[in-house]
Amino acid sequence: MSAAGSIPSSCLHRIFRAAELREKEAGVDVVKLHVGDPYFNPADNVAEAFIDAVRRGETKYTGVEGLPELRAAVVDKLRADNGVDSEVSRLLISPGSCQGLAALLQSLAEPGAEILLPELHWPVHLQQAVLAGFRPVLYPLGADLRPDPETIAAAATPRTRVLLINSPANPTGVVLDRSEIGALLDLARSRNWQVISDEAYEHFVYEREHVSVASFERDLPVEERIVHSVFSFSKSFAMTGYRLGYVALANDRAADVMKVAQEANIIGTSTPVQYAGIAALDSRHESTAANRKLVQRNRDVALPPLIRAGLLHELPAGGWYAMLDVGRTGLDAETFAARLLESKGVAVVPGEGFAMRPELDAEGRVRSHDFAPWARQLIRIAFCVDQSALETGVRKIVEFVDECGDGGPTSAD
C-alpha cells in the first residue's frame, strides 16, 4: 500500500459530503459552519485584473517561481507589513498556500525525519507531513491550547528536523505573542531544527498584533536563517477559489530545492490568477482591514451566546474558527455533529479529526490511528460565514444542546 492509501480521509471532507447530501436529499438549506470559506468577495480590482489578463492573452506558462512582478510585490509587502526580510530569489508563488506547504514539506523531508505538530492541529498539516515522508510527532498543548517549549523539547527526538508553527491557529484560534514565538524559535535553533510558519490567517488577529516568525531573523545572515514562511491570498483577500499563495524560504539553498519540487509538482501557477494577486496586494490595506472587521463583527455579535451556554471558553483571539466543548450533552462529537445536521440542518466538524494520532510503520505508512480522547467532546465552527446564517447556526446549536440536556440522550433517539 502507498503512504497516501494508508491515510484516513480528513473529517473536513466527510462532513462536506454529508452536508451536501443532506441538502440534496432533504431539500433543506444547511447552515454551513464547517468550511472556512468567507461570505464576502475579493475587491473589484481583483476580478478586473484577472479578466484583463485573460483578455490580454496572459494565459501562457509563467516560470515555476511565479511572475516576477508578483514576487517583487510580495517581497515589498513582507518587508513593509510583516517585518520579514525576503528577496525575490527566495520567494516562490504557489497555487494556494496548501500546495506551497506540501511542496515545502517535500523539499525538507529526509528518510526517517520527524516533524513536530501540536496534538490539536489542522488535519491537512498531518496528511501533508505523512505524504512528504515525515514521521509526525504530536506534542500536547499547554494551558489554553498554547504550545509550550518544554513540552515540545520533551516530545522531540534526535530525528526531529522540523517544527511547524501556525499562528493564528486553525482550529484553536490561538495567537502567539512575541515572547512565545521567540521561545519556540530559540528552542528550534538550539536543536538545529527548521521551522515552518503557516501564516494563512495573518490578517485575522483581533485585539493583538500578528507577529511573523521570520521577522525575528531579519538581522541574521541569510545562510543562518531557519524559518520558512507560508502565506495565502485565500483568507486575507477572500480569494479561496482563485488558488494563490506564496512561500518565503529561509535561504537560497532551500529555495533552490523547493524550486525542483515545484518543477515536478506544478510547472507553474495560473498566470491570470497571479495578475489578480498583484491587484489584491495593491489594495491590501483597505481590503484586509475591511475583511478583518467583517469577521470580527461576526465573532463579537454571534459567538457570545455560546460562551453564555458554557460551550465556549472565550472569544478566539485570531483566525475564524472556534472550538466548542459539547461534553455536557453526553454525546460524542461525531454523534453530536451527525444529529445536529439531521435535526437542525447545521453542519459542524467533530473535533476528533483535528486530534488524530497515527502510528506509522517502518516505511512511513499509517499502520493504525486513534484520537486524543479529550477531542471527542469538541466541535469546530467557522465564523467567517454570513452574519445572519452564523446567528441562526449558533441559535440552533444552543437549542440542540438544551434539548439534549445535561448528560443528555445516549440512545439513538
Ligand X SMILES: Cc1ncc(COP(=O)(O)O)c(C=O)c1O
Q: Of the listed pieces 79-87, 102-110, 155-163, 232-240, which binds ligand X according to CB under 6 A?
A: 232-240
Q: Does 384 bind ligand X (CB under 6 A)?
A: no
Q: Does 6 bind ligand X (CB under 6 A)?
A: no
Q: Which is nearer to ligand X, 173 or 327 (CB)?
A: 173
Q: Of the listed pieces 93-101, 176-184, 279-287, 355-363, which binds ligand X according to CB under 6 A?
A: 93-101
* Contact predicate 181/165, CB 8 Å: yes
> Please, what is the minimum distance in Å from the beta carbon of residue 258 to ligand X?
16
Q: Does 234 bind ligand X (CB under 6 A)?
A: yes
d(CA 292, CA 299) in angstroms, rounded, equals 10
Grid coordinates of 56 = 490580454
**Size, binding site for ligand X by CB under 6 A:** 13
d(CA 352, CA 186) in angstroms, rounded, equals 31
Q: Look up residue 79 and give its amino acid.
A: R
Q: Which is nearer to ligand X, 166 or 392 (CB)?
A: 166
The total number of residues written for the chain in this structure: 413
Q: Does 166 bind ligand X (CB under 6 A)?
A: yes
Give buried/exposed letters for 332-360 (b at 16+ CB in 10 A, else e).
bbbbbbebbbeebbbbbbbbbbbbbebeb
Q: Look up residue 65 and give its amino acid.
A: E
Question: One symbol per residue from 359 to 378: x for binding ligand X (CB under 6 A), - otherwise; what is it?
Answer: --------------------
> Please, what is the minimum distance in Å from the beta carbon of residue 97 to ligand X?
3
Q: Which is nearer to ligand X, 267 or 307 (CB)?
A: 267
Among 128, 197, 212, 232, binds ligand X (CB under 6 A): 232
Q: Does 238 bind ligand X (CB under 6 A)?
A: no
Residue 163 φ/ψ, nearest 5 degrees: -115, 125
Among 98, 278, 372, 382, binds ligand X (CB under 6 A): 98
Residue 226 φ/ψ, nearest 5 degrees: -125, 0
Q: Does 271 bind ligand X (CB under 6 A)?
A: no
Among 38, 96, 123, 318, binds ligand X (CB under 6 A): 96
Q: Does 354 bind ligand X (CB under 6 A)?
A: no
Question: One symbol per residue from 23 to 62: x for binding ligand X (CB under 6 A), - otherwise; what is it?
Answer: -------------x--------------------------
Q: What is the CA radius of gyration of the chain?
A: 21
Give buried/exposed letters for 213-249 (b at 16+ CB in 10 A, else e).
bbbbbeebebeebbbbbbbbbbbbbbbbebbbbbbbb
- Identify each DSSP E strand in 91-243 by its residue range: 91-94, 114-118, 135-139, 160-166, 194-198, 227-232
Q: Does 122 bind ligand X (CB under 6 A)?
A: yes
Could you say which residues in the range 170-199 bind ligand X, by CB under 6 A? Answer: 170, 198
Q: Which is nearer to ligand X, 40 or 218 (CB)?
A: 40
d(CA 390, CA 335) in angstroms, rounded, equals 21
Element (H, E) at 277: helix 271-282
> Please, what is the minimum distance in Å from the beta carbon of residue 240 to ligand X?
5
Binding site for ligand X (CB under 6 A): 36, 96-98, 122, 166, 170, 198, 200, 232, 234, 240, 245
